[in-house]
Amino acid sequence: MENRYTFELCWWAAIAAHQLIKVKVLNMKSSSDVLSLSSITKRFGDILACDHVDFNVPEGSIVGLLGQNGAGKSTLMNIVIGLYQPDAGSVSVQGNQVKIRSPKHAAELGVSMVHQHFSVIEALSVWESVCLGDKSSYDPDSVKDQIFSLAEKYGLGVDPNSRISELTPGQRQRVEILKCLRRDPKVLILDEPTSVLTDEESVKLFDVVQRVVEDEGRAAVLISHKLDEILYATQQIVIMRDGQVIEKIPTENAEASFLAEAMVGRKVSLRSSASAFGITETDDYQLDEKSVEKDNFASLVLKVENSTCLDDRGRRLEGFNLEASAGEIVGVTGAEGNGQALLADLLSSLVSLSEGSISVDGKIVKTGVPGAMSEAGIAVIPEDRHHSGCALELTVAENLILNRAKQLSNWGIIRKENRDSFVNDLIKKYDVKASSSEQIFGNLSGGNQQKCVVARELSANPKILVAVQPTRGLDVGAIEFMVAQIKSASDNGVAVILISTEISEVLELSDRLIVMYKGRNQLELSRKDFEVGAIGAAMAGES
């Protein structure tokens, strides 16, 4: 009798063990995907932002998420980090199906995001920013030690004691990454991480991410517009368009032209939108046959002479000269922080010169006098439109008429009929996607905000157009649009000053090129003399 019981017990135990092992094995199988989304759907009003999206991130790999603005990438990632709740579908982290309630919850589950716009606070020091948001108590010294060791391990050199305001964009991003790594995430999401980085910094960043992912069994998602980045850094590429996943391919089988096509949904001229992808090999650069040098420009429109100034942020110009004629595109390039931004501010009436002068059509324009440059016919597409290009709290219509409110008004009252017809024309012409002209400007997407700024600046029939990093952070379609706008402005006789750090863009568009170094003209070339080697040397300060 006793024996029989023992036997039965053993039998049941064996079954239970088998079941357990089965479950365990199954779990192990699915846990090779650190993050997996299945059939995610999210709808905003009439817009289907994500349409049954399946998305997996295998352990130890970097997955590139590619798509134009509005393709649903950001929405998808916002669902992953708990900012949005999906209308349908499920999210699994390390094989367990979860409902992610908030970014904090996501972080607890091991999903962390490095944002495109930095969320660090300027007034804090590095170590303070890193432990910002921690609930548990901490000891400054141990946090600093931790930062030191993390920084050492991954080659992210940042001094924990320095203030955020003193750091370069690249260093700030390192702080963001350190902040994420300290929470020991399984999945790291990088949203447009290189939009503010130099090429060198970008390569460094990807090396770090590669190491983090491969050596420690984590995984990463890289959201980007730039094809070269995606091709360089990822193992697998997922392409989204209109809320759907269009394509999933291993990176080794991917080709730039194929990716671009899948992303836009039609054939794109890689040539004209090369700067979008950053895939132009600047060494192999060859001139377009179309853009033969235009020789005789009608007349000199803008003359910046011996301009010298030093602003309170320590940026300086030292005897910088610039001339531009009607219909000419003058490219101004250089490594970031060599006075280009200050030049743009100068032409926006935001700073004044201590020496030198600026004249438009032979007439001297006073620098630093509010509105003077705009009145003289200088339109500016600023680098940071939120800083000097728009007012987020005003409506779309109001932002579009900032430079011509007077013309649209009678006795100081803005005529609604005039305004509406003007604004609606612009919205139609530039294909701005707004629910109405009374929508709050800050609620538009980034691409549409940029379109509005361009529309407003070009609608004033300027003599001079200053475009600062006009294609930075834009997707292919938007870049094509931007490039077309710049070209047509110059065809219409506008003198264009194209200030950009993307050499390929400057080479492609400009008739003449100036390399700035430490606020001076380091090199000036006309189109027929363009030579990448010389430009690179000049950017580094060699003449």
Partner 1 sequence: MRDHKLKLKNKTDKKFFDLFNSVFLNDSRKILFIFLVLFCLLGGLFFSGLLVAAVGGSPTKVLSSLIEGSFQTPGAFGRTLVEAIPLLLVSIGVIVSFRAGHYNIGTEGQVAIGALFAAVIALQIPGPEWFVIIFAILGSFLGGAFWSGIAVGAYLWRRVDVMISTLLLTFIAPNIVLFAVSRDYLLLDTTESNTRLASQSERVPEEKRLPEFEIFGQELHWGVIVAVILSILLTGLLGKSVWGLKVRLLGANFVTAKRFGVTQAKEGATALLLSGGFSGLAGGMIVMGSAFRLQSHIANDFGWDGLLSALVSRLNGYFAILSSIFFAALRTGSSFLAATGVSRTITSVIQGLMVIAALMPAALIVVISRSDYGRQRFGNQKKGSD
Q: Closer to partner 1 at the Cβ: 7 or 44?
A: 44
CB nearer to partner 1: pick between 160 and 193: 193
Q: Which residues of 301-316 are buried (b: 16+ CB within 10 A; e: fewer)?
A: bbbbbebebeeeeebb
Least Å distance between CB 222 and partner 1? 15
Tokens of 239: 């392409």
Q: Which residues pair with 300 in a beta bridge?
A: 325
User: By the 8 A CB rule, do 468 and 342 touch?
Assistant: no
Q: Pull the structure tokens for residue 216.
A: 């420690």
Angle formed at CA 540 by CA 537 and CA 543, multiple of 5 degrees: 50
Of 475, 477, 504, the closest CA to residue 267 belongs to 477
Nearer of residues 288 and 384 to partner 1, judged by Cβ: 384
Choice between 4 and 117, CB closer to partner 1 = 117
Residue with tokens 């020789």: 295
Contact between 61 and 219 (Cβ < 8 Å): yes
Residue type for 150, please? L
Tokens 């991480």: give the residue: 193
Closest separation in Å from C-beta 418 to partner 1? 12
C-alpha torsion angle, residues 323, 299, 326, 425 (rounded to 10): 130
Closest separation between CB of residue 280 and partner 1, Å? 24
Query: Min. distance of Cβ 157 from partner 1 in angstroms?
Result: 30
- In the bound complex, what is the minimum distance in angstroms from residue 463's beta carbon to partner 1? 16
When the beta carbons of 165 and 443 are compared against partner 1, the nearer one is: 443
> Closest Cα to residue 88, out of 37, 30, 33?
37
CA pair distance 224, 240, nearest whole angstrom: 11
Provide CB contacts within 8 A for 8, sequence distance 6+: none
- In the bound state with partner 1, the residue whose beta carbon lies nearer, of 378 and 506, is 378
Nearer to partner 1, 457 or 502 (CB): 457
Residue 295's CB is within 10 A of a number of other CB atoms, namely 9
Q: Are 286 and 423 in contact (CB under 8 A)?
A: no
Helical packing angle, 476-491 and 446-459, nearest 10°: 10
Taking CA 55 as the corner, what is the angle to CA 53 and CA 56, rounded to the nearest 5 degrees?
A: 160
Q: Which is nearer to partner 1, 151 or 358 (CB)?
A: 358
- Shortest Cβ 449–partner 1 spacing (Å): 6
Rounded to whole angstroms, the Cα distance separating 345 from 153 reads: 40
The answer to whether 320 and 304 have CB atoms below 8 angstroms apart is: yes
Query: C-beta of 40: minimal distance to partner 1 in Å?
Result: 15
364 vs 391, which CB is nearer to partner 1? 391
The smaller minimum CB distance to partner 1, of residues 178 and 378, is found at 378
CA-based end-to-end distance of the chain = 100
- Closest approach, Cβ 41 to partner 1, in A, equals 14
For residues 317 and 396, which CB has a smaller minimum distance to partner 1 in the complex? 396
- Residue for token pair 């992808």: 277
Q: What angle do CA 474, 480, 481 make, to 5 degrees?
A: 85
Residue number, 71 or 151, with CB nearest to partner 1? 71
Q: How far apart are CA 395 and CA 439, in angstroms?
A: 5
Cβ 486 vs Cβ 496: under 8 Å = yes
**Least distance (Å) from partner 1 to the CB of residue 208?**
25
Rounded to the nearest whole angstrom, what is the least distance from the CB of residue 402 to partner 1 in the complex?
A: 5
In angstroms, rounded to a whole number, what is the distance separating the alpha carbons of residues 285 and 419?
46
| Residues in contact with partner 1 by the rule CB under 8 A | 44-45, 69-70, 73-75, 78, 82-85, 101-102, 117, 348-350, 370-375, 380, 386-394, 398, 401-403, 405-406, 409, 412-414, 416, 435-436, 438, 440, 442-449
Shortest Cβ 192–partner 1 spacing (Å) = 9
Q: Tell me how far CA of residue 151 lies from CA of 5, 178, 181, 222, 492, in angstroms.
A: 61, 7, 10, 21, 52
